[in-house]
Amino acid sequence: MRSRALAPLLTVLLAVVALVSAAPPETVVRPTRFDYKMTTLSNGLQVVFLEDHSTPIVHLALWYHVGSKDEKPGRTGFAHLFEHLMFKGSKNVRPDQHPSWITSIGGESNAETDEDSTIYWETVPSHYLPLVLWLEADRMASLDVSDEKFKTELEVVKEERRMRVENQPFGLLPEIIFDKAFTTHPYKHQTIGSMRDLEAASIADVREFHDTYYVPNNATAVLVGDFETAEAQALVERYLGRVPRGKPVPRNIPAEPPHTREERVTVTQPWPLPAVVVAYHITRDGHPDAYPLHILAKILSDGDSSRLYRSLVYQKQVALAAFGEAKLIEHPNLFYAVAIVQTGHRPEDVLRELQGEIDKVKEAGVTAEELARAKRQFARDYILGRESVRQKALHLGHAVVIHDDIRTADQEFDLFQDVTLEDVQRVARTYFTADSRLLMTVMPGAPAAGVSR
């Protein structure tokens, strides 16, 4: 017999349940697909056009398919060095005149280099499109790589390395992780290059690197903004189309052999606290497994709400910081997790805790709530990441240069939203194997020989 006193409460609860049941399913609004046009000029330059008349500006991103993975052993840091040299003048442009010109017309410009590519870009009022095309064509055809400029910029890069890497607390951590995790592939070294290689670089080496990679048949121009495609295409042909094609670009990058046994490494660095690292070799960007790996990395190691941070820093208080990354780029790379050991705790215990959190995913997967939250975060980032003309050009350029398939610029949103709980646990079990992992401890102390600088 039902109590009369409970009847009103049950009525309310049933009403709430009915409302929840009647609530519409969670939906994520898909961003509009790009309406682009793509062509390849006779000199091999790929060009992507995307009209966007929302603002009277135009963005040009010139991607060179060259990064630190194209550097030879003992000759590291060249791709990043050219990020500096490319602003130091060409046949018709004085040193530093290129960025000054862009600033004077109300625009902005810069460059960025990573393991796989180097991007030079300008955003300007749309009627200055001919100027930026001429500037890029002039330095593509006639960059001035003089001995004087080479030596000057080399010193600038060496100082940048001291400031950003060597003199920062834990600044050498990525360099140490990748140096220990890779044996063969050039991902073993960082984009900034080693100090030893920078000091040994010669002008002949640098000129050879430039002549090999900074050619139209190794470049992709992405134009997004307020223009008519037919007119823009004529301008691109007029300026960039006249740059002579270069020699075929070599792609003889050595592959990393399979890792079949666990590596345990202890190194020393003059850091205030120990650090522990767990690293696994994973697949490449664009592989079907890359999408659940992205999701897994966000759940495990991205930010203060991630599993690693909540467990090691907030709940158990054995680490001062805990973070990680699934580094999914052009060639197979690493998933790694790091914990900075809290004072009073043993590194081996914290390493065990770090490993334990990763093993939990292999054994039990992630929850539906975690997966849904990660998908919402990806949807937010994906949509906000296409707000500006520069961001739209980044999506398109990445699809062409890194994926070699421009269609992926639109397809990845759906691929992320289609990831399942089973996908996440499957990739954890596939890649997080004991035989292929690196377990590393970095202890405070004088650095031992062998760490690349």
Task: Give pLDDT tens digits for 172-198.
Answer: 999 999 999 999 999 999 999 999 999
Q: What does the mean pLDDT of the chain come to?
A: 92
Q: Tens of pLDDT along 389-428?
A: 999 999 999 999 999 999 999 999 999 999 999 999 999 9
Distance of CA 367 to the CA centre of its chain: 27
Please report, rounded to a whole number, the percentage of residues in the chain having pLDDT higher than 70.
93
> Residue 21 pLDDT > 70, yes or no?
no
> Residue 10 pLDDT > 70, yes or no?
no
Q: Tens of pLDDT along 105-148?
A: 999 999 999 999 999 999 999 999 999 999 999 999 999 888 99
83 noted as active-site residue: yes
Q: How far apart are CA 97 and CA 102, in angstroms?
A: 9
Catalytic residue among 83, 175, 330, 370: 83
User: What pLDDT, on the 0 to 100 scale, is given for residue 19?
Assistant: 42
> Residue 214 pLDDT > 60, yes or no?
yes
Please report, rounded to a whole number, the percentage of residues in the chain having pLDDT higher than 90.
85
User: What pLDDT, on the 0 to 100 scale, is given for residue 449?
Assistant: 57
> Residue 6 pLDDT > 90, yes or no?
no
Q: How far apart are CA 131 and CA 423, in angstroms?
A: 49
Q: How far apart are CA 253 and CA 347, in angstroms?
A: 36
Contact between 412 and 342 under an 8 Å Cβ cutoff? The reply is no
| SS3 per-residue string spanning the chain | CCCCCCHHHHHHHHHHHHHHHHCCCCCCCCCCCCCEEEEECCCCCEEEEEECCCCCEEEEEEEECCCHHHCCCCCCCHHHHHHHHCCCCECCECCCHHHHHHHHCCCEEEEEECCCCEEEEEEEEHHHHHHHHHHHHHHHHHECCCHHHHHHHHHHHHHHHHHHHHCCCCCCHHHHHHHHHCCCCHHHCCCCCCHHHHHHCCHHHHHHHHHHHCCHHHEEEEEEECCCHHHHHHHHHHHHHHCCCCCCCCCCCCCCCCCCCCEEEEEEECCCCCEEEEEEECCCCCCCCHHHHHHHHHHHHCCCCCHHHHHHHHHCCCEEEEEEEECCCCCCCEEEEEEEECCCCCHHHHHHHHHHHHHHHHHHCCCHHHHHHHHHHHHHHHHHCCCCHHHHHHHHHHHHHCCCCCCHHHHHHHHHHCCCHHHHHHHHHHHCCHHHCEEEEEEECCCCCCCCC
Contact between 383 and 31 under an 8 Å Cβ cutoff? The reply is yes
Q: Tens of pLDDT along 85-105?
A: 999 999 999 999 999 999 999
User: What pLDDT, on the 0 to 100 scale, is given for residue 299?
Assistant: 97
Query: Which are the contacts of 441, defined by CB distance < 8 A and separation ≥ 6?
Result: 265, 266, 267, 274, 275, 276, 277, 347, 348, 351
Mean pLDDT value of segment 299-326: 95
In this prediction, residue 1 has a pLDDT band, given cuts at 50, 70 and 90, of very low
314 beta partners: none
User: What pLDDT, on the 0 to 100 scale, is given for residue 303?
Assistant: 87
Measured N-to-C along each axis, helices 229-239 and 129-142 cross at an angle, to the nearest 10 degrees, of 30
In this prediction, residue 74 has a pLDDT band, given cuts at 50, 70 and 90, of very high
> Residue 2 pLDDT > 50, yes or no?
no
User: What pLDDT, on the 0 to 100 scale, is given for residue 78?
Assistant: 93
User: What pLDDT, on the 0 to 100 scale, is given for residue 448?
Assistant: 65
Q: Tens of pLDDT along 228-263?
A: 999 999 999 999 999 999 999 999 999 999 999 999
User: What pLDDT, on the 0 to 100 scale, is given for residue 174?
Assistant: 96
Q: What is the largest CA-CA distance in the chain?
A: 96
> Residue 28 pLDDT > 90, yes or no?
no
In this prediction, residue 30 has a pLDDT band, given cuts at 50, 70 and 90, of confident
Of the given ranges (1-10, 171-180, 208-217, 334-343), which has the lowest mean pLDDT?
1-10
Mean pLDDT value of segment 34-40: 98
User: What pLDDT, on the 0 to 100 scale, is given for residue 26?
Assistant: 60
Contact between 191 and 114 under an 8 Å Cβ cutoff? The reply is yes
In this prediction, residue 29 has a pLDDT band, given cuts at 50, 70 and 90, of confident
Q: How far apart are CA 397 and CA 119, in angstroms?
A: 9
| C-alpha torsion 168→170→173→174, nearest 10 | -50
> Residue 330 pLDDT > 50, yes or no?
yes
- CA neighbours within 13 Å on the CB side: how many for 269? 27
Work out the number of other CB atoms within 10 angstroms of the CB of residue 347.
17
